[in-house]
Chains A and B, each alone.
Chain A
Amino acid sequence: MVTPPDRSSQTRVPIWRNVVVIKWATQIGILVGLLWLGYVVITQATSNLRATGIPFSWDFLGEPLGVKLGEGFNTDPESGLEALAVGMVNMLRVTWSGVIAATILGTVIGISRLSSNWIVSRIANAYIEFFRNIPLLVQILFWQALIVGLLPDLTPEMEGPRWLFASPKGIAMPWLTPLAGRWQYTVVLILGVVAARWVYRRRIALQEREGHDTHAFAWSIATFAVFLVGGWFAHPAAGVLGWLFTALAWVAAVVPVIGLQLVLAALAVVLAALYIVRYLRRLRSPAGMAKLSDDDYFRLAVAALVGVGVMLFFVSGAGQATLSSVLGRTLWYQMNWGFEPLFDFLASRFDFAGGAPLRFTLPEVVVPTRFPQYSHEVGKALTPGFMAVWMGVTLYTAAFIAEIVRAGIMAVPRGQGEAAAAVGLRRGQVLRLVVLPQAFRIILPPLGSQYLNLAKNTSLGIAVAYADIVQVGQTIFNQEGQALAVFIFWMGFYSLVSLILSGIVNYYNRKMALVER
């Protein structure tokens, strides 16, 4: 007969040996330490800056800059913020086109690397080893040198349109040049995507009900095509949005600053409450509510505290003072966080005027003075800076993506391909229907980090004077001396882009996860 041990002795545990107490103390200690560290850094930086005689300010965002930019949607920006906006758009242009091109190229090379064709796999291997082992900066400088140094210059005799130009002034190619109607047309196309999705779901539902093939995919494509073609003529109808934006601009102009404070405060509370509710819901099962552990309590307490803290910050005078000082007093009141000019801008773009949204154009060389150059109106001229950065990041990242794709395919068990071949699927079908969908799950997380690398590596464009956000920012802090403000802007922007990218990747990652028991 074994007597169970006396449990009452366990209730009397000294504090320094109590696991629960230790866990809470550590977590709270780390939190307090972090807050304290942040406080020290900020106060120290503020006082140091004051001592240099250049007080920290965001005023340059609203002031004229007096600098011309190399390229972008507006090469002669009126304010610091506009210049930075041009830089941001330029950075995003390289990033999205680079991500797409690197993905396609990387996938092709990764699959080629696995090819049973010896020459194809050797070439793919050589590509990977070559581009992966040379620093990206060297590659970007090389492309720049190649374009500027080796291509023949434009001559006055070349005046007129052609299919393709390549010169030290860049590459010019045919393009769908956007015209005034493009804003309305874009809205119609977005509606088309939504409608196509809706039709697809309806047809699938019908198929499941009636049990015969309803050609759901063909139907959704046809729906989109209706919008694509019909929208070409009907797009001025989207001009009604102009009224909406005018109204929003008016609201943004009359709503006082306190309105925004209240919105942010409410948002903080709502987000914290949502987090808590969702967390609790996850712990609930049909069998009843799971018992909350110490970690659960800690999470909930921190979420609630942060929510309430942020709310108090925004409604207090400190919040208003910080907001207006962070944004610069003039900017704060003039721009009202930029919502008013944004809505004004959008309102001006949406009217009921007709006109084609796009036009196919050939590039053209014009000779306004003695020096021939590409026309801005027709075709698409890619500057040497853009080409160098784009080729650099694309070819470099493609080498890494190729290795990721290869690893992903090799990680799919051999039996999968064999089983697919054994049921009679052809080679392309085996790859497309069975191997790649499974490889994709393995590929996705490392692929996401390559996208982040690509986005961040575009900052090397500064070496070839590509007018991205880094180059524009540097121009600004050379001019205004607000180095810290520009750095904060950079960090904020790159973090935002990276977070959005990884958010998208994580979303797909969750969606694609295999269903296990």
Chain B
Amino acid sequence: MTTNGSQAIICEDVKKWFGDFQALSGVSTSIGWGEVVVVIGPSGSGKSTFIRCINRLEAHQAGRIVVDGMELTNDLRNIDAIRREVGMVFQQFNLFPHLTVMQNITLAPIWARNRTRSSSEAAAMKLLERVGIPEQAHKYPGQLSGGQQQRVAIARALAMNPKIMLFDEPTSALDPEMIKEVLDVMKELAESGMTMIVVTHEMGFAREVADRVLFFDYGMVVEEGTPEHFFHNPQHDRTKLFLSQIL
């Protein structure tokens, strides 16, 4: 995989408003290749908006976002190119209910990468084995459990061979006993060297897998650091309050 630029993602003073509500009020950070960054924060703190800006599901209104050496502008070609290199996994899975698991995974490689059906299906089978559900290939999403659906969603994102993966609360809509199977897949992915940004409430995952933790509030990065630093030696009062409520 050829990567462009010294950093995977560079954000400089990114701002975003929804009407008169400011969702992001100046986010600056950069994420290196192979780094696993976990984003934590109370609801409404702008963490989802932040990662949705990285693949332009939301347009930022001020500041700069550079992904894989390409700046996100209004240029449709840049946006398409960045989306092809950035995979995303959603809280609600968002699998395509009218397509089988196999079709869900091969849709983008066939149409956006112009691969042949046979080569994308072979690749899809490998991905399904990687996430542990090869036997579900010809079922429809409606026939799978939540955990299985989320694993298919991860396989679907990986099918484009992305350089960066975004996870937007991937386990928040799952039953407790299914959370582990999804987290295991994500851990395996992190160990394989994938660049990942994960918005989550799973503190165990953050502690174990993250290289760095970003704590968001009021649309800003309030505190950042290694999990060590973040969980054991937080500097900010807001961080301390948050941790005292959840731990």
A residues engaging B (CB < 8 A)? 207, 211-213, 413, 415-416, 418-426, 429, 433-434, 437-438, 441, 514-517
Contacts and interface: CB of A to CB of B under 8 A. Distances in A.
B90 interface: yes
Contacts of B80: 424, 426
Contacts of A426: 80, 112
Given A422-B57, A424-B160, A426-B80, A515 B143 contact: yes
Contact of B111 (A213, A422, A425, A438): A425
Contacts of B112: 423-426, 429
A441 B80 CA distance: 28
Contacts of A514: 97-98, 140, 142
A424 B84 CA distance: 5
A210 to B, nearest CB: 9
Given A416-B94, A429-B111, A422 B122 contact: no
B142 A434 contact: no
Contacts of B94: 413, 415-416, 418-419
25 contacts: A207-B117, A207-B118, A211-B121, A211-B122, A213-B116, A415-B92, A416-B96, A418-B57, A419-B88, A419-B94, A420-B96, A421-B57, A421-B83, A422-B55, A422-B57, A422-B86, A422-B88, A422-B90, A423-B87, A423-B157, A423-B160, A425-B107, A426-B80, A515-B143, A516-B140
A245 B117 CA distance: 47
B156 interface: yes
A425 B108 CA distance: 6
Interface residues of B, number: 33
B124 to A, nearest CB: 12
Nearest to A434: B96
A424 B108 contact: yes
A419 B142 contact: no
A241 B84 CA distance: 57
Interface in B143-178: 143, 153, 156-157, 159-160
Given A424-B112, A426-B112, A419 B90 contact: yes
B246 to A, nearest CB: 27
Contacts of B108: 423-425
Given A207-B118, A437-B98, 6 more contacts: A211-B122, A413-B94, A415-B90, A425-B108, A425-B111, A517-B143
A437 B153 CA distance: 19
Nearest to A212: B118
A438 B97 contact: yes
Interface string B39-59: 000000000000000010100
Nearest to B142: A516
Nearest to B95: A419
A433 to B, nearest CB: 6
Contacts of B118: 207, 211-213
Q: Pick the most buried of A418, A420, A426, A434: most chain B CB atoms within 10 A of its CB.
A: A418
Contact of B107 (A212, A213, A433): A433
A49 B73 CA distance: 80
Contacts of B143: 515-517
A499 to B, nearest CB: 28
Nearest to B86: A422
A184 to B, nearest CB: 39
Q: Please indicate which of the listed interface residues B97, B143, B160 has the most CB atoms of chain A within 10 Å of its own CB.
A: B97
A429 B117 CA distance: 17
A438 B99 CA distance: 10
Nearest to B156: A423
Contacts of B88: 419, 422-423
Q: Which 10 A-B pairs have the closest CB atoms?
A: A419-B94, A423-B108, A424-B84, A415-B94, A515-B140, A424-B112, A422-B88, A516-B142, A212-B118, A424-B83
A213 B92 CA distance: 33
Contacts of A441: 98
Which of A207, A420, A422, A429 counts the most chain B CB atoms within 10 A? Answer: A422
A386 to B, nearest CB: 39
A508 to B, nearest CB: 14
A212 to B, nearest CB: 4
Contacts of B160: 423-424
Nearest to A426: B80
A207 B84 CA distance: 28
Nearest to B85: A424
Given A424-B84, A425-B107, A516-B143, A418 B90 contact: yes
Nearest to A432: B111
A92 B57 CA distance: 47
Contacts of B55: 422
B140 to A, nearest CB: 4
Contacts of A433: 107, 111
Contacts of A424: 80, 83-84, 108, 112-113, 160
